[in-house]
């Protein structure tokens, strides 16, 4: 573990916290890690409900693919634009109880989605769900790092795999509760959001007690082992890698059911099962990426994850249903292992900016996915859904940019 990982994070009274404390492992730490992972599951399960009910909304409201993409764009924009600013502000002035307050916006969004009578109502509901997500991700990522005991890759992966498990379960619950039963049944998801709020209240109390127990004097700023120019260049490369990863992931998660229905004639329920297999593979890959990065280095994980997925993405548009299922599982597992490594790599580039970095990269993830969903929807309207998958299959080749990343772990003393 690098020396930057062991600097003590200052308390709420300090002007600028600089890093996260390296805390001993114990039941309390694992309880908090489990709690934020659980809420991430519930949060992303609720979010995954949106693309899962797109076929129903498209038929009920007479939407075009472009309008379907705009729903995703509105959600992703509100879920992304606020995140870096929230992270930057709470790096300077921690606000533990922002977590349950933000989740209340998600609750209102879910209830509005269940009664919306127009396309504008759907957009407003998606926007509120996005606002809840924008407050949750940077702060919950910070809590996971605080509770990590120094195993930052493991903690980030456990936190993220909770979200990916939720994303995988979302289509199943949507198929069981909403599809074929009507828009009003969306309100059942509000129960899950209420549970998330209750858990976050307890997490926020622990976070508040943790901050109160830290020294009031701020730790000395920790310098990056690289020059400012190289840090900014490395962050730009990481942003491009996130772009390649999440534009492709957006094409799968938002339009995979449409693709299977269009190309293979599957029913909506059958297509949802294939989407579940893909998202379950994403959850497994996310969990493996962090601990492997702790062991062999995060740059190697980024190499293997993004560029390593390219052969499989290039084959996907040309195979039958069986191989489509197999390749989508392989792609989901391989390409998803990069994100926790990217986040921790960026946090090591800029020690002391844990919340801001988490906000930037989670926000970038949502923003890129939203823009990608809208663009892919328009392309699908013009050229067909199958063309989308041929076009996106080349994106993982951008993984070759990993060669430009510095060896931060080698430059920083252990």
Say yes or no to pLDDT of 117 above 60.
yes
Tokens read off for 219: 């730790």
What pLDDT score was predicted for residue 321?
93
pLDDT in tens, 215-230: 554 444 555 667 778 8
> Distances in Å between the alpha carbon of 343 and those of 105, 282, 350, 357?
26, 17, 11, 7
- Place 2 in a pLDDT band, splitting at 50, 70 and 90: very low
Lowest mean pLDDT among 6-15, 19-28, 238-247, 284-293: 6-15
Q: Each residue of 327-358: pLDDT tens digit?
A: 999 998 888 887 778 887 887 787 777 777 77
pLDDT, mean of residues 21-41: 71
Average pLDDT, the chain: 79
Give the pLDDT band of residue 369 (cuts 50, 70, 90). Answer: low
What pLDDT shows up at residue 106? 93
For residues 301 and 340, give the distance between their C-alpha atoms in angstroms, rounded to a whole number: 10
Superfamily of domain 25-213+226-404: MFS general substrate transporter like domains (1.20.1250.20)
Looking at residue 215, its pLDDT comes to 59
Contact assessment for residue 307 and residue 397, using Cβ atoms and an 8 Å cutoff: yes
- d(CA 171, CA 176) in angstroms, rounded, equals 9
174 pLDDT higher than 80: yes
Query: What share of residues in the chain are helix, strand, coil (percent, to 5)?
Result: 80, 0, 20
Q: Which residue from 306, 282, 361, 245 is spatially nearest to 298, judged by alpha carbons?
A: 306
pLDDT at 11 over 50: no
pLDDT of residue 14: 34
Q: What is the pLDDT of residues 237-275, one digit of tens each?
A: 888 888 888 788 877 777 888 888 888 988 888 888 888
Extents of the domains making up the chain? 25-213+226-404
- Give yes or no for residue 143 having a pLDDT over 80: yes
**pLDDT, position 103:** 92
pLDDT score of 341: 80
25 has a pLDDT exceeding 50: no
Name the DSSP class of 304.
I
pLDDT tens per residue, range 377-409:
788 888 888 888 888 888 888 888 888 888 766
Q: In this predicted structure, what is the pLDDT of residue 410?
A: 59
Q: pLDDT tens for residues 197-206?
A: 999 999 999 8
Q: Helices 27-52 and 152-177, interaxial angle, to 10°?
A: 40
Note the pTM of the prediction, 2 decimals.
Answer: 0.67
Residues whose CB is less than 8 angstroms from the CB of residue 290 and which lie 6 or more positions away in sequence, other chains included: 152, 153, 154, 155, 156, 157, 158, 160, 340, 341, 344
Q: What gap in Å lies between CA 383 and CA 375, rounded to an integer?
A: 12
Mean pLDDT (whole number) for 40-51: 87
Among 6, 76, 19, 1, smallest CA distance to 221 is for 19
Mean pLDDT, residues 294-321 taken together: 86
Q: What whole-number distance in Å separates Cα of residue 175 and Cα of residue 378?
A: 26
């Amino acid at each position: 573990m690098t020396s930057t990982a062991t600097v003590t994070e200052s308390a709420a009274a300090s002007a600028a916290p600089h890093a996260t404390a390296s805390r001993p492992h114990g039941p309390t730490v694992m309880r908090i890690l489990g709690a934020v992972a659980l809420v991430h599951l519930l949060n992303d399960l609720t979010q995954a409900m949106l693309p899962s009910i797109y076929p129903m909304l498209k038929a009920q409201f007479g939407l075009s693919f472009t309008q379907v993409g705009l729903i995703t764009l509105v959600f992703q924009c509100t879920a992304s634009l606020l995140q870096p600013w929230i992270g930057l502000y709470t790096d300077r002035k921690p606000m533990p109880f922002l977590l349950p307050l933000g989740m209340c916006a998600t609750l209102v969004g879910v209830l509005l989605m269940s009664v919306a009578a127009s396309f504008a109502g759907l957009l407003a509901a998606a926007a509120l769900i996005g606002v809840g997500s924008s407050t949750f991700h940077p702060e919950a990522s910070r809590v996971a790092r605080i509770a990590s005991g120094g195993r930052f890759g493991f903690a980030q992966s456990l936190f993220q795999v909770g979200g990916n498990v939720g994303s995988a379960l979302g289509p199943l619950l949507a198929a069981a509760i909403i599809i074929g039963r009507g828009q009003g049944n969306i309100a059942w998801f509000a129960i899950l959001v209420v549970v998330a709020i209750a858990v976050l209240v307890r997490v926020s109390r622990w976070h508040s007690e943790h901050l109160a127990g830290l020294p009031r004097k701020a730790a000395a700023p920790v310098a990056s082992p690289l020059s400012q120019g190289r840090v900014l260049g490395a962050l730009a490369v990481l942003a491009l890698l996130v772009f390649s990863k999440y534009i492709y992931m957006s094409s799968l998660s938002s339009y995979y059911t449409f693709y299977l229905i269009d190309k293979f004639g599957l029913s909506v329920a059958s297509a949802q099962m294939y989407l579940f297999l893909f998202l379950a593979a994403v959850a497994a890959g996310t969990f493996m990426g962090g601990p492997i990065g702790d062991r062999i280095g995060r740059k190697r994980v980024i190499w293997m994850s993004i560029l390593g997925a390219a052969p499989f993405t290039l084959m996907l548009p040309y195979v039958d249903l069986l191989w489509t299922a197999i390749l989508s599982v392989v792609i989901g597992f391989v390409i998803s292992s990069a994100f926790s490594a990217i986040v921790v790599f960026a946090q090591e580039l800029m020690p002391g900016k844990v919340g801001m970095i988490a906000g930037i990269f989670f926000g970038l993830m949502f923003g890129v996915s939203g823009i990608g969903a809208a663009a892919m929807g328009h392309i699908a309207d013009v050229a067909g859904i199958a063309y989308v998958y041929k076009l996106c299959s080349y994106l993982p080749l951008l993984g070759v940019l990993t060669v430009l990343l510095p060896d931060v772990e080698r430059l920083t003393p252990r």
